[in-house]
Amino acid sequence: MSELRFEQVTVRFGTGSRAMTAVDSVDLTIPSGQVVGLVGESGSGKSTLARAAVGLTELAGGRILLGGVPLRHRARGPRPLQLVFQDPYSSLDPRMSIGDSIAEAIPRTGPLSGGSARSAEVGRLLELVDLDPDRASAHPGVLSGGQRQRVALARALAGQPDVILADEITSALDVSVQGTVLNLVRELQRRLRLSMLFISHNLAVVRYVSDYIAVMYLGRIVEFGPAADVLADPQHPYTRDLLAAAPRRGTLTLDAEETDAALRAVADAEPADPHHPPAGCRFHPRCPVGPLVRPDRELCLTVDPTPEAAKRRHHTACHYAATALQAVDHVQ
């Protein structure tokens, strides 16, 4: 087990006026043997961060460390990080049997280098993800989406990684199958004491498997802390919005009939253009307790709250984290 740490990680795409910073100076730690749930809406930079960790996307700045040692991505050799992709229908080669796909990921040196040992390991991994070892000769085309995602998990485990990065692995599955895959992920993590970055846009999914929760908005982490604490007492207005979007008792809902024009405006606002993020706090155009609703909070328009986040509870990137909650509660 090893700690995975992102230090001031930045990823940019494009050049000139259309250049976009998809991940902006992100600091994030996945403790050894723990699950960090990374949540945020589409386009927030979650998948880009995971792809950067496994070397599929080049860093523009910062560094990524595993066990305190900077990662060096190589075309060959051991891969201590394994990424499980979102779409189970495109992550497996349709021309290869699932046994061959899993065997391909097993290290070619060491005790599993022999043919019989590799076959036995493939069978063990299939059993580990609740699939019949006799299915090793089957091709992905005859499997359901849930079964393919189980194969993808087995393939990731075959590489004997220190950390698994699971990128929206249930979002492409039927609702009836999502629960069984989540149960499997939680069981595997507990049994094998895996370190895991579990990415989702759904807080209801993240709360089920995570020890810690990180909230990402427009390329930055805006809140991070133990899952139970973040869910019970969120400090950032964006986290509050995400919780409100997942129906449950006691969450904030803004009724257009009951709120003033300013609150309706920010509630209906679209996410900012990632090519041209707002100055100051990036969430301020959508914030229900920000300067568009509270004119006295001009600070949010010009000053970025991220540099001082470490001094606040849950490392919250909000100038008014404590008072913001009181103001939102008053609206309810």
29-45, pLDDT tens digit by residue? 999 999 999 999 988 99
Integer CA distances (angstroms), 229 to 4, 87, 214, 247, 308, in order? 22, 31, 12, 19, 20
- What pLDDT digit, counting tens, does each position of 130-168 carry? 999 999 999 999 999 999 999 999 999 998 899 999 999
Q: Which of 72-76, 140-144, 193-197, 324-328 has the lowest mean pLDDT?
A: 324-328
Give pLDDT, residue 262.
Answer: 59
Please give the average per-residue pLDDT across 85-100, as a whole number: 90
Domain membership flag for residue 37 = no
Give CA–CA dist 204/274, Å, rounded: 26
pLDDT band at 88 (very low <50, low <70, confident <90, very high): confident
% of the chain exceeding 70 in pLDDT: 86
Give pLDDT, residue 250.
Answer: 42
Element (H or E) spanning 30, and its range? strand 20-30
Q: Is the pLDDT of residue 327 over 60?
A: no
Q: Is the pLDDT of residue 282 over 50?
A: yes
Domain membership flag for residue 138 = yes
Domain membership flag for residue 121 = yes
The type of residue at 100 is D
Domain membership flag for residue 135 = yes
Please give the average per-residue pLDDT across 59-76, as a whole number: 83
pLDDT band at 174 (very low <50, low <70, confident <90, very high): confident
Residue 74 exposed, middle or buried by CB count within 10 Å (0-12, 13-18, 19+): exposed
Please give the average per-residue pLDDT across 226-234, as a whole number: 94
Domain containing 142 equals: 91-160
Give pLDDT, residue 137.
Answer: 94
% of the chain exceeding 90 in pLDDT: 63
Give CA–CA dist 206/212, Å, rounded: 9
Integer CA distances (angstroms), 285 to 108, 200, 309, in order? 53, 24, 19
Residue 265 exposed, middle or buried by CB count within 10 Å (0-12, 13-18, 19+): middle
Give pLDDT, residue 18.
Answer: 80
The sign of the torsion formed by the CA atoms of 301, 316, 201, 232 equals negative
C-beta neighbour count of 318 within 10 angstroms = 29
Give pLDDT, residue 203.
Answer: 85
CB 150 within 8 A of CB 138: no
The three-class DSSP label of residue 248 is coil
Please give the average per-residue pLDDT across 230-245, as a whole number: 90
What's the total number of domains in the chain?
A: 1
DSSP track, 41-79: -TTSSHHHHHHHHTTSS--SEEEEEETTEE----SSS--
Domain membership flag for residue 277 = no
Give pLDDT, residue 78.
Answer: 60
Give CA–CA dist 162/235, Å, rounded: 31
Q: For residues 1 and 206, which has the higher predicted lDDT (pLDDT)?
A: 206
Q: Is the pLDDT of residue 278 over 90?
A: yes
Domain membership flag for residue 206 = no
For all residues of the chain together, what is the average pLDDT? Answer: 86
Give pLDDT, residue 184.
Answer: 92
Domain membership flag for residue 306 = no
Give pLDDT, residue 77.
Answer: 52
The type of residue at 120 is A
- Helix axis angle, 145-158 relative to 175-192, nearest 10°? 20
Residue 9 exposed, middle or buried by CB count within 10 Å (0-12, 13-18, 19+): buried
Domain membership flag for residue 139 = yes
Give CA–CA dist 254/288, Å, rounded: 9
The three-class DSSP label of residue 231 is helix
Give CA–CA dist 134/16, Å, rounded: 54
Q: Is the pLDDT of residue 224 over 80?
A: yes
Give pLDDT, residue 312.
Answer: 93
